[in-house]
Structure formats: structure tokens, C-alpha cells
Amino acid sequence: MAENVRVRIECDIEEYLKSQSQRVLGKSSESITGADLSTLANRLIYEHKQAWKIVERMPFERLLSWVINLIPGARVVSFTDKSVLHSPAKDSLADQLKEAA
């Protein structure tokens, strides 16, 4: 059940909520009351939850691969692939420095 509780919100959050009032409630930001701010906050949190559920279901790996493939000459590097991190040129330089010392 909903309770009547007073909550202090930061100025920037209040401004953001008021900026969304026309889109969410159909009211101008000047005519917003405290109850409207509460309703706005609840609806925006609900929208955020819904958007997050959509994001969780999106195949980001395939989307990223598709975007990278749009760039000519680009390739996707897997950070879990150890062979990408191993460079023979680096090893030979390290060996040369050891031999010089």
C-alpha cells in the first residue's frame, strides 16, 4: 500500500521530473504539484524498468559486430582470446633487451 511520506529530492532531479511532465502527464512544468512529482517519479521508474528488460533481451554482441562490420577494414577483437594479446614482436624485443643487459 502507498504511504504518505515526505521525501526531499535534489534540484536537478526535480527539474528533470518537471521536464518530463508534459510527455508523461500532459501538464506544463509550472502546474506540477508534489503529488504529480511522485506520480512522475513512479512512471519514469516504471519506464526505466521496461526499457531495461528490453535491453537485457537484445543481442548486443551481434549488434556490435554488425556496427563494426559497417566500418571498412575494421574487425571485432575478442578480449577473451589470448592469442590476440600475445605478440611475437613484443617477445623478441624483450629478449633483445635481456640479451643487451
User: To the nearest whole number, what is the mean pLDDT of the chain?
Assistant: 77
**Within a 10 A sphere around the Cβ of 40, how many other Cβ atoms?**
22
State the pTM of this model. Answer: 0.51
Q: How far is CA 82 from the centre of its chain?
A: 28
Predicted confidence (pLDDT) per residue in 68-85, tens digit: 778 776 665 554 544 444
Which CA distances in Å does 3 have to 6, 44, 67, 68, 99? 10, 19, 47, 50, 75
Q: Which set of grid coordinates corresponds to residue 83? A: 592469442
The predicted structure's pLDDT at residue 4: 78
